[in-house]
Amino acid sequence: MKILIVDDEKDVEMLFRQKFRKEIKNGNLELVFAFSGAEAMRVLEESNPPKVVYVFSDINMPGMTGLELLDKIKEKYPQINVSMISAYGDSDNYNKAIKSGAKEFFTKPINFDSLREEIKALMN
């Protein structure tokens, strides 16, 4: 299963690779990273239909925000599940994300056990 993680903080890649080391090693999970909303859209447009089945995006990013990215993905690729993450668990962002079609909303620091369960559910 191919997952796209979108975050303007580059150290997120190492963290995700470490947390999902076992799933990556046994071939159940392929992680792809984009460091902006525009880069994320380019990754999704690489193949038609996209090979990515799940997008995990930060909300607060320069340029295209995670919420704007969510709208674009849901408009162009409604079959892709998208979950949002924010350092701020404010209800405004949560409500906007869920209303726009986000599957889940996580706050930083990420609860990787919850995220792992979310991904497992998509694999079944």
Task: Output the 3-class SS for the chain.
Answer: CEEEEECCCCHHHHHHHHHCHHHHHCCCCEEEEECCHHHHHHHHHCCCCCCEEEEEEECCCCCCCHHHHHHHHHHHCCCCEEEEEECCCCHHHHHHHHHCCCCEEEECCCCHHHHHHHHHHHHC
Given a cut of 90, whether residue 3 has pLDDT beyond it is: yes
- What pLDDT, on a 0 to 100 scale, did the predictor assign at position 122? 83
Kindly state the percentage of the chain with pLDDT values over 90: 86
**CATH number for position 19:** 3.40.50.2300
Kindly state the percentage of the chain with pLDDT values over 70: 100
The range of the structural domain enclosing residue 113 comes to: 2-123
- Counted domains in the chain: 1
Given a cut of 80, whether residue 114 has pLDDT beyond it is: yes
Contact 79, 103 (CB under 8 A): no
